[in-house]
Structure 1
């Protein structure tokens, strides 16, 4: 209290405008990094840890004289033959699968997927495998996603997208 004046109390940090500007910028940067900005064509929709193994852009463009990417071995008959495994819950709370098409069988027919990602919950690991085919001359895209249990190799779900 020098000069007879009462010292002015400082505002808490959360009441300062610069603090909220920094928070908004940090959230935007994190959201952009997580979401990829919507520009990643091989982005998977999993919110878990992912390990992507995708073809490099130089491999995808190896044939500059060709107007379309080489197609995977998928046919409608192969897709229709894929059977999703039945999910069974064991007494100890673990999940077991039965009756599904083995992933190795499908991979032998159509080739390796373009991308894969794994996610784990406890000791249960599932793998998402995706094949994408683009026909530039026809203006068509086909994407097939298979999910399977890593321990048993049983396919647990499938989905197909055509445009």
Structure 2
């Protein structure tokens, strides 16, 4: 709540609460930590597998694929609600549990009366991380998943032509669905972080990360594209 301050001349000023003391700021910080941690964790597993491989050809990276297409479809079906609106619009915990089963691990963080629960499901190297507020999904993340080998449409030349503002649907139509995906909704704003590991031209470790806000591209990164 804003605080009123009166100076020596009787003037009244409104002192607003610093952004770093607001609930939404710290909840967002926690979500970012979990998302980054999950992505790095998934990357570490993939790097470990790559180091044990005797082949370094670009085609070999696509031989390590996920057979859990059903698991991916279940992930895609999970709806994400608005964190700042008690998760309204998101799938419930019971709905997620009915689809994915019981989580492998659970942790809960309480911040100024707001409880955010993080559940993790792991299967065959694929990790799904779901966060709940008021028992409704407010963010979802999948790492470790790879689609089957597909045409290498996303090259360095194609990447350089991608402009901010292009739609997520257009990118999926052109290059296929991303292998890893994170989605969250905060105050009506949907953020998607999509990572392509297959269908791209490059050596081992090549990847493309595109971030979208309300379906429009806002940033892009790539590593080892050719």
> What TM bracket, shorter-length normalisation?
0.3 to 0.5
Q: Which is richer in strand?
A: 2
TM-score (norm 1): 0.47
TM-score (norm 2): 0.35
